[in-house]
Amino acid sequence: MKFNVLTLFPEMFSALDESIIGRGKEKGLIDINLINIRDFSKDKHKKVDDTPYGGGAGMVMEPTVVYDAFKSIQDENAKVIYLSPQGKTLNQQIVQNLAKEESITLLCGHYEGIDQRVIDEIVDEEISIGDYVLTGGELPAMVLIDSVSRYVKGVLKEDSVQEESFTNGLLEYPQYTRPEIFLDKKVPEVLLSGHHENINKWRRHQALINTYLKRPDLLKEIELSKEDKKILSDYKNFKEGGSK
């Protein structure tokens, strides 16, 4: 998978040299092509921004330098994404769809943003990572690269992506590792039993209750089996009984 990144701060992306994504890059599974927009400034001081027409605070990135940087990429098939609070909010479904692309170009704005004319000209899709404002699109671009790269074959261990939270529409079950007793708390007995059917049942139960307690909105989006519904209704009855 190829990512082209148009940014004024390419050094920020060194965060992606660490850990799992870093290993994916070393293995050649993920290719991150950083383009410094400033390199395309024709100004003698390498200026890339100017005051907004109509007045107001801050600076706006000039369209010409952004366009020239974009034109230098020469990746016809890449989907072009602008990271912005105005975009569609990123979720696991969007991540999975983006992972089907062969190449993605990420445009990172800074200051008050980018001249609208170049956005209209080159951007296919606007994406936001949540309803808050940041000083630049670099962190959202890294969030997108990380989340999408996890779906590139070979980046994660085979099963990890299937088993996890959101892929089945539920939150995760709790995880435990050694020691067996920590601060007087024991690991749930069933996990030590080696009985895989019981372990899977227990995990499904935990995932359902976890989702009911923390993100009940997610339960409305998925299809529950008869067994799932029984687990939830038993839990709800138990809770009501307990509070009286």
Q: Which residues of this protein are in contact with ligand 4GO, per CB under 6 A?
A: 83-85, 109-110, 113, 128-130, 132-134, 136-137, 140
CB of 182 to ligand 4GO, least distance (A): 38
- Angle in degrees, CA 93, 95, 101, rounded to 5: 115
Assigned token pair, 232: 């939830």
39 Cβ contact partners less than 8 Å away, ≥ 6 residues apart: 69
Beta bridge partners of 80: 105
CB of 193 to ligand 4GO, least distance (A): 44
The beta-carbon contacts of 53-59 under 8 Å, at least 24 apart in sequence, are 56/112, 57/112, 58/111, 58/112, 59/111, 59/112
Nearer to ligand 4GO, 26 or 121 (CB): 121
The secondary structure of 142-176, three-state, reads HHHHHHHHCCCCCCCCCCHHHHCCCCCCCCCCCCC
**Least Å distance between CB 136 and ligand 4GO?**
5
Contact indicator for 85, 131 with CB cutoff of 8 Å: yes
CB of 123 to ligand 4GO, least distance (A): 12
Encoding tokens for residue 35? Answer: 């383009």
Nearest to ligand 4GO of 8, 208 (CB atom): 8
Residue in the block written with tokens 């369209």: 63
Question: How would you class 115 by CB atoms within 10 Å of its CB: exposed for 0-12, middle for 13-18, buried for 19 or more?
Answer: buried
Give 99 or 134: the residue with its C-beta nearer to ligand 4GO: 134
Is the Cβ of residue 78 or residue 114 nearer to ligand 4GO in the bound state? Answer: 114
Min separation Cβ 69 and ligand 4GO, Å: 15
In this chain, which residue has its C-beta nearest to ligand 4GO? 109
Q: Which residue has the tokens 């951007």?
A: 123
**Which CB atom, from 10 or from 137, has the smaller least distance to ligand 4GO?**
137
Nearer to ligand 4GO, 32 or 61 (CB): 61
CB of 61 to ligand 4GO, least distance (A): 8
Query: Least CB distance from residue 110 to ligand 4GO, whole Å?
Result: 6
Between 52 and 169, name the residue whose CB sits nearer to ligand 4GO. Answer: 52
